[in-house]
Amino acid sequence: MNSNLQEAGKTGVIALVNVDEQVYGILNQCDFGGAQLMLFKNGYELGDQWGNTNLPVIAIISQSEVIGPEGIYLPKTLQKNKFPDVPYFLISNKINENLNELCIHAGVADIFNYPGKKEQIETRVNFLIKYWKSMQDKVRPEKITVYKVPLPKRIFDILFSGLAIIILSPLLLLIILFMKIESRGPVFYYSLRVGTGYRIFKFFKLRTMYVNADKRLKDLAHLNQYGSKENTPVWADANILCDECVKNGTKCQHLLYADKNSWCEKNYLNYRKSLSGAAFFKLKNDPRITRIGRILRNTSIDELPQLWNVLKGDMSIVGNRPLPLYEAEKLTTDKYALRFRAPAGITGLWQVEKREKGNMSEEERLMLDNIYAENNSFAKDIKLILKTIPALFQKESV
């Protein structure tokens, strides 16, 4: 490793993050002036090796959705952790004007359509590596207006969430004890969500299933109430890629995380949807859900860890619900992007309207999100809270 570092130190390292074989094949044909190409599975692995071994990284090329862990989220994380400022390039199969603007604001030096063209990548990467420092010295960053939570609202969020956590802590400790007694595994899990200003954060919940639930599904096919194995929905296995992930590479782009375990969130949501509606696969008293997990789901207590998100400032009590990465990336047009100028919240306008009016289309929900973004105030937030107290911490599917 030391000899490799010494050799790389002469010409530098170009870190390749989450790239598939096709992209790597193109990059490997490029002439980067002798710079060494080094592969990393994800941003965490890059940060770990870069920090521990002082890698002479001169550029980063990442393959990901724009709004994804290895997309605009990665340069922000590296900047936050005080890593050296080097040009960051993104390869993605979804690019439009608004996504390009997000990339610029996030510090992305350049973006290429998947899988990229050798001549374009070689020319633009070499140019930006060569002139990056002088360009950063001369270019003044554009002032961006980002929504900032008003002081009264933030004070209320801190007091409300903090007091709720203190009051509910005995209950949470009791729940954790029962969870540990019933099954092994993490107490919490998280998924990445997009909130205000397209900022990505970890969205926490309590675990309600056994950790090997995905492996148990195929063994329960004989209990299917509909009797058909052909139409059994696929469980959220990160090794089974949906069409969208296949287009972006060979790895799942929508993971849920719990310690060392991970699941595909998109498949998981589709699976849950299939169970809640006219499902092809339905289990009575699903044995994959723990006994305590069933209680947590029925009472929506599994949502309580979001109070920690509120206390940290990731969310507010009232706001637009934070979205999974793949959903947020679809809402980048002017018509829908307005919703991200409002705070992310546990409950909000569309939840109240849904309870009063019943079923609501996706279009209606998005328009209500926009209305809240344009007309929110602390006084209106209090009114919304008073209307939603009976089911304030409700399920994600509401």
- 302 is a domain residue: no
Domain annotation covers residue 313: no
248 part of a folded domain: no
Amino acid at 167: I
In a domain, 101, yes or no: yes
Q: What is the full per-residue pLDDT of the chain (398 aa) written as tens digits?
A: 444 544 544 578 999 999 999 999 999 999 998 899 999 988 888 988 898 888 899 999 999 888 877 888 888 888 888 899 999 999 988 777 777 877 887 788 999 998 889 999 999 999 999 988 877 765 555 555 667 888 999 999 999 999 999 999 999 999 999 988 888 888 888 888 988 888 888 899 898 887 765 555 555 555 554 444 444 444 444 455 666 666 555 556 556 555 455 656 666 556 555 544 433 344 556 667 888 888 888 887 888 999 999 999 999 999 998 988 877 877 777 677 888 888 899 888 877 776 655 566 777 788 888 888 888 888 889 888 887 765 444 444 43
Q: Is residue 9 part of a domain?
A: yes
Task: Identify whether 42 is part of a domain.
Answer: yes
Tell me if 29 is assigned to some domain: yes
The CATH number of residue 80's host domain is 3.40.50.2300
Q: How far apart are CA 131 and CA 123, in angstroms?
A: 12
What pTM was estimated for this model as a whole? 0.57
**Residue range(s) defining the domain that contains residue 105:** 2-138
Compute the half-sphere exposure of residue 164: CA atoms within 13 Å on the CB side of its CA.
19
Q: Is 380 among the domain residues?
A: no
**Pair 337, 331: CB distance under 8 Å:** yes
